[in-house]
Amino acid sequence: AGVLALAYVALTLFNARLFQNAASRALQGQIRAEELHTVIPARKTVKEGDLLGRIEIPRIGLSVMVLQGTTSKTLRLGVGHISGTSLPGESGNIGIAGHRDTFFRGLKDIRSEDEILLQTASGIVKYKVDWIQITAPGDSSVVSTETDSGLTLVTCYPFYYVGASPERFVVHAHRW
């Protein structure tokens, strides 16, 4: 049973790594296509699992693809855009969630003033961390859509907790 459990974890991590590489190539293709077009396309409807971009936090070595949605399947492959918040590349507060035991593990080392880069097909937007907060799981005020040009990252907390986590780790950054 232990071998099967380890094999499942290894297969899941391997699948996520393959997806991250393929999604990175797809984003580069989107960027090249965007550079070739001079007409601004109409806003397209996004669906669960669509590739939206890449988030990078250079100081902690985090680089992960951003997908639409927060289903279990989506969060196994990358981090997910929280529905109801602004889409990456738009003004307003963008909410992004990820698992603490995979892609957002590095958030444990983030600090105020750290730079966050959000790359989409239309360009790179820079953010700087304002605050870090621990909240209750149901506290939706941290991803308020009233914030102008902000980025909110959410993951479970504590980072090394086994089982369903009792709190959320929230990072908020402003565009600069």
Q: How confident is the model at residue 41 (pLDDT cuts 50, 70, 90)?
A: low
- 84-to-68, 76, 116 alpha-carbon distances in Å: 11, 21, 21
pLDDT in tens, 52-64: 999 999 999 999 9
| Helix (H/G/I), strand (E/B), else coil: 103 | coil
Residues in the chain, overall count = 176
Single pTM value for the model: 0.87
pLDDT on residue 49: 95
CA atoms within 13 A on the CB side of 114: 21
Please check the confidence at residue 165 and state whether its pLDDT lies above 70. Answer: yes
User: Across residues 133-153, what is the average pLDDT?
Assistant: 86
Given this model, what pLDDT does residue 40 score? 54
